[in-house]
Structure 1
Amino acid sequence: MANQPVVFLHGLWLHASSWGSWVEFFRNEGYDPIAPNWPGEHDTVADTRSHPDEVADVGIDEVTAHFARIIETLPIPPVLIGHSFGGLITEKLLGQGYGTVGVAIDPAQIKGVLPLPLAQLRSGLPALRNPANISRAISLTEKEFRYGFANQLDDEESAELFERWTIPSTVRPLFQAAGANFSLHSQAAVDTANEDRGPLLLISGTADHTVPDVTTDATLRQYRKSNAVTELIKFHGRGHSLTIDHGWRDVASEVLAWLGRQGLDD
């Protein structure tokens, strides 16, 4: 029998290879993990930075369909683990019947989530300040990365992570999420009432500026109409960088333990 596949889905401004430590960790635990690129993303950080236009103007539905096609090639339904907008895509895919379980780490806000804290607005400002950016690829400055991702790290680690993992990113999904509650057919909508989906774990970093804790709390409440398993784990004092910074293993170990409680450690 094939090992349990795991699909890691990254979010905006990080390259797929930022999951490298997680991929190795899960492979050593007997899983069969992959971390696919987003549409237009090249295989390396450097190449993606050199071709920013190729990642531009891609929306939530296109990214979801892209990962759905990858999932359909796997021998058995995978575990889905996403961070930030990858977390939102994880929720969408799980609601659509893809995957056996899902983990959404600091997931971008879905339709129906109302809180919009000042820190979240400031984190999204590099993209949202100009409506014309919706069709562009935008890069963060080191200062913007420090605020949105690495606010709980020292300057040295923040700078190292910025240089190692950040890429230009499509920002259409950010505009779609920001306007979700004003759109009848928003691409940020998730089937939160699905009774037949697999278990879902939400993870929040309580000091996150990009997806503040209150936003993840509100996401959990969106699932109240479903009897499917939906749980929330909080990492106190952690920011949006919690999947790539020096404490990543604490988060990965907690995810692994939760998956085991869903009967996936066999």
Structure 2
Amino acid sequence: MAALLLAVPFPIQSNVVQLSSRKAKMSLSVAAVYELKEGQSRVFHRLPSGLRMEAIVQKPPPGVEGLGSPPPLVFVHGSFHAAWCWAEHWLPFFSGSGHHCFALSLLAQGESDVPEGSSSAGTLQMHVDNVADFIRKEVNLPPVLIGHSFGGLIVQSYLSRMENGEGEDFLPLLAGAVLVCSVPPSGNSGLVWRYLFTKPIAAVKVTLSLAAKAFANSLPLCKETFFSSTMDDHQVLRYQRLMKDSSKLPLFDLKKLNASLPVPSIPKNSVKLLVMGASDDFIVDLEGLHETAKFYDVQPVCLEGVAHDVMLDSNWQKGAETITSWLKILS
């Protein structure tokens, strides 16, 4: 497993996660903000650029791994998040079902390295290339790629490049893909303009919360932006601190991103795709959900009583169970 650096997990365990039989260069990492759960390890993948990309890894517990051959799952977060957002609930849940799970932190997010002299973490193409490099070198079977919010746009770009002739030569093939409260293929401009004309107060709140990063210092605004009203305030405060510390640079330069959109269409989508949204999503509205589903000619799934951060929300099980049902059909 060239290009992978393994850090001491928290809590410390005697058995180290081995992702492949290839030799890996190992070194210790500085203590991370997010404290790992039992069975999880933090690893650092060395990209071709020389920068390190954090991944939180959780493989199935003993006795579960041999039950069938479920595909590995690779998770890609959105803005202000990192690998930890999947490690909280979904990695234990899906590894318990036999899936080998990998949650990535894109560059300048979480514990990943920060590109020098850059005003953003990278372009859409760069993020796709980094995800593809990780899958190519660290994942032994075609995975299901799962993206949330802007991470969903990265997954869409990955699919487009793979399906438009670059798959066999450049991008590793996928077993499937899941878009969770994803930014539509046209970007977030349509969402912004709809809010401005139909929900001006919400538009101001979204702008303050995300563009001005006001969510980081306001508990009510953070809760309204990402979570259900039923979420415990102490839990929201914990996630708020993690989000505040996760993003060293903006995930994208939005002007450059919008200039590269929409994501190119896929002539014939051979990859099974689940498009999932949430009824109480403050960021991606139902029209955005249906735009994405229509683009890929699939029927969307809308989770009732769940907010934007589906994997962290008080009803996080709804999204996990929906994906589990879909994975059974996939296999």
Which structure has the larger Rg? 2
In 2, the alpha carbon distance for the partners of 1:257 and 1:41 equals 31
Q: CA deviation at 1:80?
A: 0.7
The answer to whether 1:28 aligns with 2:101 is: no
Any unmatched runs of 5+ in structure 1? Answer: 130-137, 225-229
Q: 1:120 to 1:86 in 2, by over 3 A?
A: farther
In 2, the alpha carbon distance for the partners of 1:55 and 1:5 equals 32
Letter in 2 for 1:243: M
Between stretches 236-245 and 167-176, larger displacement belongs to 167-176
Per the alignment, residue 70 of structure 1 pairs with 134
Of residues 258, 265, 289, the one that matches 1:216 is 289
Q: C-alpha offsets along residues 45-95 of structure 1, whole Å, 9 cap, x if unaligned?
A: xxx9xx898995122222111101111122221101111111111222123
Per the alignment, residue 241 of structure 2 pairs with 163
What value does the CA root-mean-square deviation take over the aligned residues? Answer: 3.1
The answer to whether 1:107 aligns with 2:182 is: yes
Letter in 1 for 2:285: P
Aligned-residue identity in percent: 21
Per the alignment, residue 43 of structure 1 pairs with 111
In 1, the alpha carbon distance for the partners of 2:296 and 2:302 equals 17
In 2, the alpha carbon distance for the partners of 1:245 and 1:112 equals 24
Determine helix, strand or coil for the equivalent of 2:299: strand
Per the alignment, residue 261 of structure 1 pairs with 329
The answer to whether 1:57 aligns with 2:132 is: no
The answer to whether 1:17 aligns with 2:80 is: no
Per the alignment, residue 226 of structure 2 pairs with 149
Of residues 63, 75, 89, the one that matches 1:8 is 75
Between stretches 118-127 and 32-41, larger displacement belongs to 118-127
Q: CA deviation at 1:165?
A: 4.6
- Tell me if structure 2 keeps the 8 A contact 1:142–1:159: no
TM-score computed with the length of structure 1 as normaliser: 0.77
Per the alignment, residue 316 of structure 2 pairs with 248
Give the paired residue count. 239
In 1, the alpha carbon distance for the partners of 2:251 and 2:152 equals 16
Q: 1:53 to 1:88 in 2, by over 3 A?
A: same
Letter in 1 for 2:156: E
The answer to whether 1:86 aligns with 2:86 is: no
- Tell me if structure 1 keeps the 8 A contact 2:215–2:225: no
Letter in 1 for 2:274: L
Determine helix, strand or coil for the equivalent of 2:142: coil
Letter in 1 for 2:128: T
In 1, the alpha carbon distance for the partners of 2:91 and 2:118 equals 23
Between stretches 86-95 and 35-44, larger displacement belongs to 35-44
In 2, the alpha carbon distance for the partners of 1:94 and 1:102 equals 8
In 2, the alpha carbon distance for the partners of 1:174 and 1:245 equals 28
Q: CA deviation at 1:27?
A: 1.2
Higher relative contact order (CA 8 A, sep 6+): 1
Give the structure with the higher percent helix: 1
Q: CA deviation at 1:259?
A: 1.1
Letter in 1 for 2:124: I
Q: CA deviation at 1:172?
A: 5.3
TM-score computed with the length of structure 2 as normaliser: 0.63
In 1, the alpha carbon distance for the partners of 2:146 and 2:303 equals 17
Q: CA deviation at 1:39?
A: 1.2
Q: CA deviation at 1:192?
A: 3.2
Letter in 2 for 1:70: F
Q: CA deviation at 1:158?
A: 2.6
